[in-house]
Amino acid sequence: MTIDPNDVRSREFFLRTRKEAVVAGAIWFVFFLWVVGVSYVMGYGEVDPTYSVMGFPAWIFWGVLLPFVVATLVNCLYAFVYLKDDDEKL
Amino acid sequence: MYSENATQVALVIALYLGITFLFAFISGRKTAKGDFMEEYFVGGRQTGPWILGLTWIATMASGGTFIGVPGLIHSYGWIIFLWIAGFMMVITTGFGILGKRVGQLGAKTGALTFPDLLRDRFESPLIGILSAVMIVLLYLAYMVAQYAAGARVLEAVVGIPYQYGVIGFAVSVGLYTAYGGFRAVAWTDSFQAVVMLFGVMLTAFFAVRLAGGMDAINAELAAQSEELISGPGPNNFLPLVAAISFFILMPLSQLGQPALISRFLTFTGTAALKRAAFLTGVYVCIMYPLIIVVGIASRVLTPDIEAPDHALTAVVMLSVPALLAGFIIAAPVSAIMSSLSSFLLVSAGALVRDVYQRNFNPALTGEKAKRLTHAMTALITVIGVALALNPPTYLQLIVVFAGTGLGATFAWPSILAIFWPRMNKAGCLAGIIGGFASFVLQYSTMGGTSFFGFHPFVWSFLISLAGCIVGTLMTPRQSTEHLSLYFGRPLDGEEDEGRPAAEPQPQV
């Protein structure tokens, strides 16, 4: 392995990927609050069996399924809009 | 046995296997050219977005996903969807936190395996060997679960005795993995991912149709027991602390999976990674909800089954037209084989490269390397089969043990290795050992529920983090020369973290 003493680009790359990682973590946290919060409040204990949305129990729909879809959209945005192209040529 | 058309199904499965071997053979021939190790372990770093995304999901979704999860839904109802909900975050966290960085560092340092990354980053052969050993142990557990799942599917659908099923799976996967290395694994994975997705889509369609629609299913479930349609589920399956634990555990444990991390060593560039992240994200969003639906339908359609892990095959044989059933059974078979091949590749690699080649025989190459790799693949297969001949009950729980064990051991060392310059060898060792030991200790004394109701993974995850930090801060920083390879040099006006070590560290 050869070391380039003036590896400024390496530094930039490192800092940028680190920020992207933190953003990914923040996204996780937001969905954590949504999913666990809504599911718990709407779905734990007595649940009205007739209350359903699109065939899913209401608490499942609002607390798991919908966040799943939204998370996928957020993932697309994250991948295509937020992540930068960083390719270090050897 | 649930199938009246066992012969038909068996023929379709044989056809499916034939196609799999064909993929392996064609892609494996490319492996024969070029440097053996580079081709065998990272496919020459030429993996494009589709293959990358599909091999990732195929490896992650294993027998546990297809056999274990429906089995759990059959027993516990809708709460299982909340149990696995963390998977909605797995792509963003996995690709976003590790993907780009691991790929770049891998290309820069020439890393072929996950232990390579850690060993070179921390200048520590000990870490290379230690992580290799843990990989082999934990993946063996994972593989045993896969063999068991696959054998049960064949037993339920075609009537093949369990023992022969185990051996059949082990031998088929062992052969094509040994033959073609990463390329064969990636290509067969991609084929298998397509089969998985279509299989689950078709099954969901037919099962729900047969049961009379989702509302009818839910009404029937509620009639059987209100606990099936609410939290925490029968037998208090998922109390709030558990729900919290698993939303943490499901995605974050994937960050510690060597087989998934090593996939990030194989792609061509960030553009491929981004596309793969998109594809895999969409795939996950379609597949997991549909698996849940299949499981729910199975509770209504086939309420009495011999073992929970028969739920999927039972509902397929009941609701899907005979001709299609064979294709659909190929779906869980695919999930199992794709995961098995990846685990086998990584484990054999751990023995051949991370233990042997890098420490005892750096000149190992060509024919000798190939033969040794084949031998290790065979050895691991044999051990796995021997262990699998005593079948476990809830497949998904073994998968969770092995999977979370790996996560608890490797997630923090991996994340901090690539993002924290101060992190050093002592910290990595403390993180790995602390995570692994605390995990095994909790599991053996308390099972799947630890202090305050949290899953052992949560505590081990924290202990591993603490180990990384404390171990690092108590020992000197690595040399600036070495670190600059990974982190560059501080930009003008930016403060550097810590001070450089006074002298290079002794090799351990």
Residue B121: pLDDT above 90?
A: yes
> How far does B506 lie from chain A, in Å, by closest CA?
19
- Burial class from Cβ neighbours inside 10 Å (0-12, 13-18, 19+) for residue B266 reads buried
Instruction: Specify the pLDDT at position B500.
Output: 43
- State chain B's mean pLDDT as an integer: 87
Element (H, E) at A53: strand A52-53
Nearest residue on chain A to B98, judged by CA atoms?
A21
* Contact flag B485-A13 (C-beta cutoff 8 Å): no
Instruction: Specify the pLDDT at position B491.
Output: 65
Residue B253: pLDDT above 90?
A: no
> How far does A34 lie from chain B, in Å, by closest CA?
11
Instruction: Specify the pLDDT at position B36.
Output: 84
| Pick from A67, A72, A83: CB nearest B274 | A83
Compute the distance between CA of residue B287 and CA of residue B500 in angstroms, rounded to an integer.
49
| Pick from B120, B231, B271: CB nearest A40 | B231
Q: How large is the angle between the packed helices B125-158 and B395-419, nearest 10 degrees?
A: 150
Count Cβ neighbours within 10 Å for each residue of A3-28 and write b for 16 or more, e otherwise: eeeebeebbebbeebbebbebbbebb
Is the Cβ–Cβ distance between B440 and B104 less than 8 Å? no
pLDDT tens-place string over residues B343-367: 999 999 999 999 998 888 888 888 8
Q: How large is the angle between the packed helices B311-319 and B162-211, nearest 10 degrees?
A: 60
Nearest residue on chain A to B91, judged by CA atoms?
A75
Is the Cβ–Cβ distance between B122 and B416 less than 8 Å? no
pLDDT tens-place string over residues A41-70: 999 988 888 888 988 999 999 999 999 999
Q: What is the mean pLDDT of residues B89-95?
A: 93
Percent share of chain B, pLDDT over 70? 94
* Contact flag B81-A74 (C-beta cutoff 8 Å): no
Q: Which residue(s) pair with B47 in the sheet? A: B267
* Contact flag A52-B215 (C-beta cutoff 8 Å): yes
Domain B6-394 has CATH 1.20.1730.10: yes
Set of chain B residues whose Cβ sits within 8 Å of the Cβ of A51: none
3-class secondary-structure state, position B47: strand
pLDDT tens-place string over residues B316-348: 888 888 778 877 888 888 888 988 999 999 999
According to the per-residue pLDDT averaged within each range, which of B24-28, B305-309, B389-393 is highest? B24-28
Q: Which residue(s) pair with A56 in the sheet? A: A53
* Contact flag B419-A17 (C-beta cutoff 8 Å): yes
Instruction: Specify the pLDDT at position B496.
Output: 52
Nearest residue on chain A to B220, judged by CA atoms?
A49
3-class secondary-structure state, position B487: helix
Instruction: Specify the pLDDT at position B497.
Output: 52
Tell whether A39 lies on the interface with B, counting CB pairs under 8 A: yes
3-class secondary-structure state, position B363: coil
Set of chain B residues whose Cβ sits within 8 Å of the Cβ of A65: 81, 289
Tell whether A51 lies on the interface with B, counting CB pairs under 8 A: no
Radius of gyration of chain B (CA): 23
Q: What is the mean pLDDT of residues B291-308?
A: 90
Percent share of chain B, pLDDT over 90? 44
Residue A77: pLDDT above 90?
A: yes
Tell whether A81 lies on the interface with B, counting CB pairs under 8 A: no
* Contact flag A71-B270 (C-beta cutoff 8 Å): no
Helix locations, A1-90, DSSP H: 8-43, 58-60, 66-77
Size of interface A-B (CB pairs under 8 A): 196
Set of chain A residues whose Cβ sits within 8 Å of the Cβ of B289: 65, 68
Nearest residue on chain A to B224, judged by CA atoms?
A49
Tell whether A48 lies on the interface with B, counting CB pairs under 8 A: no
Q: Pick the more confident residue, A29 or B330.
A: A29
**Residue B502 confidence class, pLDDT cut points 50, 70, 90:** very low
Domain boundaries, chain B: 6-394
Tell whether A14 lies on the interface with B, counting CB pairs under 8 A: yes
3-class secondary-structure state, position B225: coil
Q: What is the mean pLDDT of residues B386-399?
A: 73
Element (H, E) at B198: helix B162-211
> A57 — phi, psi (to 5°)?
-50, 140
> B436 — phi, psi (to 5°)?
-65, -50
**Residue B114 confidence class, pLDDT cut points 50, 70, 90:** very high
Instruction: Specify the pLDDT at position B392.
Output: 60
* Contact flag B269-A87 (C-beta cutoff 8 Å): yes
pLDDT tens-place string over residues B147-192: 988 888 888 888 889 999 999 999 999 998 988 888 888 888 898 8
Q: Which residues contact B71 (CB under 8 A, 6 or more apart)?
A: B295, B307, B308, B309, B310, B311, B312, B394, B395, B396
Nearest residue on chain B to A1, judged by CA atoms?
B109
A window 54-73, beta carbon within 8 A of B: 54-57, 59-60, 63-65, 67-69, 71-72
